[in-house]
Amino acid sequence: MPNSATPTHCPYCALQCGMNLTPAPDGTVEVTERTDFPVNRGALCGKGRTAPAVLSSQVRLTSPLVRSGGTLVPATWDEALDRIAEGLGRTRREHGPDACGVFGGGGLTNEKAYTLGKFARVVLGTSQIDYNGRFCMSSAAAAGIKAFGLDRGLPFPLEDIPKTGCVILVGSNLAETMPPSLRFFHELRENGGKLIVIDPRRTKTAEQADLHLAPRPGTDLALALGLLHVVVAEGRVDEEYVAERTAGWEDARAAAMAHWPEYVERITGVSVPQLRETVRMFCEPEHAMVLTARGPEQQSKGTDTVGAWINLCLATGRAGRPLSGYGCLTGQGNGQGGREHGQKADQLPGYRKLDDPAARRHVAEVWGVDPDSLPGPGRSAYELLDALGTDIRSLLLMASNPVVSAPRAAHIEERIKSLDFLAVCDVVLSETAELADVVLPVTQWAEETGTTTSLEGRVLLRQRAITPPEGVRSDLEVMHELAARLGVEKGFPTDAEEVFEELRRASAGGPADYSGITYRRLVAENGVFWPCPAPAADGEGEGESEDASLDVVTGDDSVQDDTVAGPHPGTPRLFLDRFATPDGRARFIAVSHRAAAEEPDDEYPVLLTTGRVVSQYQSGAQTRRVAELNAAAPGPFVELHPRLAARLGAAEGDPVAVVSRRGRAVAPARITTGIRPDTVFMPFHWPGEGRANTLTNPALDPTSRMPEFKVCAVRVEAVEG
């Protein structure tokens, strides 16, 4: 391996910040600035800066583990792989293919997500595959498809943000989740633009806004409807745009007009003057954007809530125009790519639909199988986890830690324990891996090459920078070996670029078309935005791959101009001419306010909302192993208003219990006036007594099947001692 700097990208969130990695003689890896990547221009948050700590961590798995006499003990790779093949094979024989479940992750590269979907459907023949990305942005994806005919997190590059006139940021705390992205919003304000933040908490992001609205959790849908009502009442609808580029306005308009500002004020707690001021700030500039994140999306009405925000953009002519639009700030590292290439229950590669006969034929041909042999759509993530130990008897799990991250987590933990067989691939012994029958230690980001797709829809190449430790193998090798043991000798290559070449063919012609993208282009162009079809002519474009092999590219001098004449440039900005619907028009989604699945009552009078802190990532499986991050964020807490704390008699740091219909969690009080008095907040990164997801409600959105992480009813109690 080279000992010079290798340009690559962060392993964590969907911003996918660029960084250089340099192995040092003592075995450590140095992260250095990479200023050529326009998204972060060298800036990194603490998680990215310390990411190499997990590579050399003492808690890193370097040997397969198998359960023997109730404990996990080291085993050889052959023993471990044989045991997985035997476990899955027996389940398939005795209970049928759908008794085998597969659960993936939004951190898997495109190549791994693609191969995992293929493995489930071709090798196991199961429909029961989904992934933790369902818990991330599925509501925005569903709303985007309904309204625009296509789901890509941002339909424009982040670099457009400073040039617009106003951004409404709904339920996103970028200062903690993606700190380098704040630069775009600072530049927006320096240019005279306005930032409006909508969040029940006065977060670090809200503190930087020109206007902060703090609605009651679970009422963002009513808030968006109230804003649209004001837009109509004040004559701010862009009638020409609505007539030329949209459909369904009358129904959406009627629904919004039923949401009077005074009614919306009663539901949300946001005052009528604040509603009017928001509309003024949003409508006066020539360009404006709405960006949503988990706040409005992780609700049992998440799809409708995002739809209401999209309606606001459409009614004011702020979608599919330069410097204006709606976007979703996808959270997980490869949350975008992970939902495009087949590890989602209803999907085939290229964002094709599993129930579309033409899509099945196309992908089956690439895979060399009979289209009729492909199973149909399966269950969504929570429904799959909830079925473990009942009709799903065995589970293969990659890059996910549902014992911490799933809603109603204590119940899901019990379901996992009731499985006949569980195999987990991970880099550390996560809380879920601790329950497994077999654990396989796998390579991670800096030790392997593969692509991810950022929240901008920019496909990126993460390059192998260091040699993996002795004893670990890649997920691709794992699937190759398991496929062979289960009777499928071909079709599961271990080389990421070979997988990508197949993915290109499988995605060709689909909504997320990667067929014009090669590894070499990704390096030469610092990423390529999809869709990027290969030139149509006679397949010549696909021939580009013949000499596109890539070992490690460390600088411009190793980049060759291997792009054939007329390659597609990629698509940084979508919908400028037409939306991706059959008639090219965007669709309004007529929606009305409805309450959260759980409203406060006498027994559970307070609302709980959950989220993240800057120094931990998702279930914390990796970041909780980094000393510097643990020092900054050592454990869970309950954020509550001084009035609520006074009622409990709780002081700062006192343990308080939060109790929901699903369980009880205890954590130290953090008292702040920055949260509504009727609401408490808990971060969800930790297991054990302070596990926030013990409390959360798995009520599902009817379209996206997103659980309601963001709001449930609880009571808060002082804890003796």
**Binding positions for ligand SF4, rule: CB under 6 A:** 10, 12-13, 15-17, 40, 44-45, 47-48, 178-180
Residue written as token pair 């930087």: 208
Distance separating alpha carbons of residues 465 and 468, to the nearest angstrom = 9
Neighbours of 119 (CB within 10 A): 29
Distance separating alpha carbons of residues 667 and 653, to the nearest angstrom = 9
Closest CB 44 distance from ligand SF4, rounded Å: 4
Closest CB 179 distance from ligand SF4, rounded Å: 6
Closest CB 453 distance from ligand SF4, rounded Å: 13
- Yes or no: say if 314 and 246 are a contact pair by the CB < 8 Å rule: yes
Closest CB 333 distance from ligand SF4, rounded Å: 7
Closest CB 172 distance from ligand SF4, rounded Å: 13
Name the residue nearer to ligand SF4 (CB basis): 13 or 315: 13
Its sign, for the CA torsion 231, 232, 238, 243, is: positive
Distance separating alpha carbons of residues 352 and 358, to the nearest angstrom = 9
Name the residue nearer to ligand SF4 (CB basis): 22 or 63: 22
Closest CB 330 distance from ligand SF4, rounded Å: 11
Provide the β-strand partners of residue 348. 352
Name the residue nearer to ligand SF4 (CB basis): 47 or 301: 47
Name the residue nearer to ligand SF4 (CB basis): 16 or 581: 16
DSSP structure class, residue 191: T
Closest CB 49 distance from ligand SF4, rounded Å: 7
Name the residue nearer to ligand SF4 (CB basis): 154 or 310: 154
Distance separating alpha carbons of residues 75 and 284, to the nearest angstrom = 66
Closest CB 12 distance from ligand SF4, rounded Å: 3
Distance separating alpha carbons of residues 711 and 510, to the nearest angstrom = 36
Max Cα–Cα distance, the chain, nearest Å: 75
Peptide bond into 511 cis (omega under 30): no
Closest CB 603 distance from ligand SF4, rounded Å: 39
Structure tokens at 63: 């040997």
* Nearest CA-CA partner of 440 in 450, 449, 430: 430
Name the residue nearer to ligand SF4 (CB basis): 34 or 112: 34
Name the residue nearer to ligand SF4 (CB basis): 270 or 329: 329
Provide the β-strand partners of residue 196. 168, 211
Name the residue nearer to ligand SF4 (CB basis): 107 or 193: 107
Q: Residue with CB nearest ligand SF4? A: 48
Q: Who contacts 371 (Cβ-Cβ below 8 Å, separation ≥6)?
A: 357, 360, 361, 364
Name the residue nearer to ligand SF4 (CB basis): 17 or 406: 17
Distance separating alpha carbons of residues 283 and 355, to the nearest angstrom = 41
Q: Who contacts 140 (Cβ-Cβ below 8 Å, separation ≥6)?
A: 151, 153, 292, 297, 302, 306, 328, 330
